[in-house]
Amino acid sequence: MSGDQAAGGATAQPSSSASAGAAREPLASSEPVGLAVIGLGVIGRRMLEQAASVPGLRVRAAWDIDPQACRLAQADFPGTVIAADPQTLVSRSDVDVVYVGTPPAFHRPYALMAAAQGRRVFCEKPLTSSLDDAHRLVAELAELGTPNAVNFVYASAPSADYLQRRLSEGSLGAIQGIDMRVFFSQWPREWQASAQWLRAREQGGFVREVLSHFVYLSIRLFGDCRLIGAQVSWPPDATLCELAASATLECAGIPVTMSASAGGAGPDEVLYTVRGTRAALRLSHWYEVSESDGQAWRPVEVPSARYPDQRVAAYQEQLRNLERFGRGLSHPLPDAALALRVQTIIEGILSVR
Give 244's contacts (C-beta < 8 A, 6+ positions apart).
232, 233, 259, 260, 261, 262
Peptide bond into 26 cis (omega under 30): no
Torsion of CA 127, 131, 132, 133, to 10 degrees: -20
Q: Cα(299)–Cα(290) distance, rounded to whole angstroms?
A: 4
Show the CA angle centred on residue 178, arms to residues 122 and 172, nearest 5°. Answer: 105
Contact 200, 239 (CB under 8 A): yes
Q: Cα(195)–Cα(144) distance, rounded to whole angstroms?
A: 32
* pLDDT at res. 304: 74
Q: Cα(278)–Cα(58) distance, rounded to whole angstroms?
A: 46
* pLDDT at res. 199: 96
For the chain, give every domain's residue range.
18-152, 155-305+336-350
* pLDDT at res. 309: 87
Longest CA span, the chain: 61
Q: What fold is seen in the domain 18-152?
A: Rossmann fold (3.40.50)
Show the CA angle centred on residue 238, arms to residues 232 and 240, nearest 5°. Answer: 75
Peptide bond into 126 cis (omega under 30): yes
Strand partners, 200: 240
Q: Cα(334)–Cα(106) distance, rounded to whole angstroms?
A: 20
* pLDDT at res. 3: 35
Strand order in the sheet with 288-292: 225-233, 244-251, 254-262, 175-184, 269-276, 280-284, 288-292, 298-300
Q: Which of 5, 288, 257, 281 is nearest to 126 (CA)?
A: 5
Strand partners, 231: 246
Task: Assign domain 155-305+336-350 one CATH number from 3.50.40.10, 3.30.1330.60, 3.30.360.10, 3.40.47.10.
Answer: 3.30.360.10
Q: Which of 237, 217, 105, 79 is nearest to 153 (CA)?
A: 217
Half-sphere exposure of 68 (CA within 13 A, CB side): 5
Strand order in the sheet with 97-100: 57-63, 33-38, 97-100, 120-123, 148-150
- Spell out the per-residue pLDDT of the chain, length 353, in tens: 443 333 333 333 343 333 345 566 667 677 999 999 999 999 999 999 999 999 999 999 999 999 999 999 999 999 999 999 999 999 999 999 999 999 999 999 999 999 999 999 999 999 999 999 999 999 999 999 999 999 999 999 999 999 999 999 999 999 999 999 999 999 999 999 888 999 999 999 999 999 999 999 999 999 999 999 999 999 999 999 999 999 999 999 999 999 999 999 999 999 999 999 999 999 999 999 999 999 999 999 998 767 778 999 999 999 999 999 999 999 999 999 999 999 999 999 999 87
* pLDDT at res. 107: 98
Torsion of CA 48, 14, 88, 45, to 10 degrees: -10
